[in-house]
Amino acid sequence: MTHSVNPDLPQTLMKVLEHLRESLQEELCAEGIDLTPPDIRLLELIGADAGQSQQSLGRKMCRDKALVTRKIREMEALGLVRRERNPVDQRSFQLFLTEAGSRIDERTQAILARTHDSLFAPLDHTQQQMLARLLQQCLPGRAE
């Protein structure tokens, strides 16, 4: 069954996401962390799956190979990420956080949690659960 979409919904969702991105960027700057929200997502994904390939990371981030390679090189230059040749496939690299990268990842995850807490503070626990369920229904492969 197809329903027409309330025209306010996409616009409101985009405003919420933009507000989240701006709030997160402000918090990162206030903490003296010169990274962007996509950068902290990159660190989070590498930390959660140490040793993954750049190709795998690119798929998870929905980014092309050139962009991922450039971002990995930037993170390497900052001393946050290291690449190692894959022992099984010498043509590819495995990605790992350095100690500094792990520390920054911990700090940025705490900032992200505070930012989310602030964003969703107007909603009580039940409303937050309902919002999560409703948004989940919008994702492909959802359980009906």
The pLDDT tens digits of the residues spanning 29-88 come to 999 999 999 999 999 999 999 999 888 898 898 888 899 899 999 999 999 999 999 888
Q: Which domain holds residue 51?
A: 26-137
For residue 36, being part of any structural domain is answered with yes
92 in any annotated domain: yes
Q: What pLDDT is recorded for position 142?
A: 64
Instruction: Quickly state the pLDDT bin for 2 (edges 50, 70, 90).
Output: low
3 state SS for 52-109: CEHHHHHHHHCCCHHHHHHHHHHHHHCCCEEEEECCCCCCCEEEEECHHHHHHHHHHH
Looking at the DSSP bridge assignments, the partners of residue 94 are 53, 84
Which residues does residue 84 pair with via DSSP β-bridges, in sequence order? 94
Q: Is the pTM here over 0.85, yes or no?
A: no
Answer whether residue 15 is part of any domain. Answer: no
Q: Is residue 7 part of a domain?
A: no
Q: Is the residue at 34 inside a domain? A: yes
Which CATH number characterizes residue 129's domain?
Answer: 1.10.10.10
Establish if 57 belongs to a structural domain. yes
pLDDT tens for residues 98-126?
Answer: 999 999 999 999 999 999 999 999 999 99
Query: 3 pLDDT exceeds 80?
Result: no
Q: Is residue 11 part of a domain?
A: no
Q: Radius of gyration of the chain from Cα atoms? A: 18
Least confident of 14-23, 33-42, 69-78, 132-141: 132-141
Domain presence at residue 12: no
* Domain count for the chain: 1
pLDDT band at 91, cuts 50/70/90? confident
